[in-house]
Amino acid sequence: MMKFRHEKLDVYQKSIEFLALAFDVISEIPKGYDFLGDQLKKASLSIPLNIAEGNSKFSDKEITYCLQMARGSANQCSAIWDASKVAGLINFARYQEGKALLFNIVCMLSKMTVK
């Protein structure tokens, strides 16, 4: 099976792993907290989308911009993840798993954008 270049990146794979976890958590969010689920859905999806877009660019400036957007979305997810924990919407094991993935993603993206 052929793969796009971005699919071979560890950071992309981690972002897809986090996306799956986020969608699983979103599916269990009760009514009244839809706003958190909506925000998490947008931010978590934005990470792999921006990584893929950045990997299709040719100039360093465009690539860096997309990767910085992905990093910003990962940081947003971290804050939403914290809010979900405070609201009692996520158990501690999932919380830790998500935070570890997000930390890894942010670290990898930071290394990729430092020039």
Task: State CA 107 to chain mean position distance.
Answer: 12
The answer to whether position 19 is within a domain reads yes
Q: What is the pLDDT of residue 115?
A: 55
The answer to whether position 6 is within a domain reads no
**Whether residue 47 has pLDDT greater than 90:** yes
Q: What type of residue sits at position 42?
A: K
The answer to whether position 41 is within a domain reads yes
Q: What is the pLDDT of residues 6-46, one digit of tens each?
A: 999 999 999 999 999 999 999 999 999 999 999 999 999 99
Model confidence band, residue 113 (pLDDT cutoffs 50, 70, 90): confident
The answer to whether position 60 is within a domain reads yes
Residue 59 phi, psi (nearest 5): -90, 145
Q: What is the pLDDT of residue 86?
A: 97
The answer to whether position 3 is within a domain reads no
Residue range of the domain that includes 43: 15-113
| pTM assigned to the model | 0.95
Model confidence band, residue 1 (pLDDT cutoffs 50, 70, 90): confident
Model confidence band, residue 52 (pLDDT cutoffs 50, 70, 90): very high
The answer to whether position 103 is within a domain reads yes
**Joined tokens for residue 83:** 């809010």
Q: Please state the domain count of the chain.
A: 1
Query: d(Cα 48, Cα 50) in Å, to the nearest integer?
Result: 5
The answer to whether position 107 is within a domain reads yes
Per-residue buried b or exposed e for 56-95, using 16+ beta carbons within 10 Å of the residue's own CB: eeeeeeebbbbbbbbbbbbebbbebbebbbeeebbeeebb
The whole-number average pLDDT for the span 33-61 is 96
- CATH code assigned at 77: 1.20.1440.60
Please state, rounded to an integer, the average pLDDT across all residues of the chain.
Answer: 96
The answer to whether position 46 is within a domain reads yes
Angle separating helix axes 34-55 and 60-86, nearest 10 degrees: 160
Q: What is the pLDDT of residue 46?
A: 98
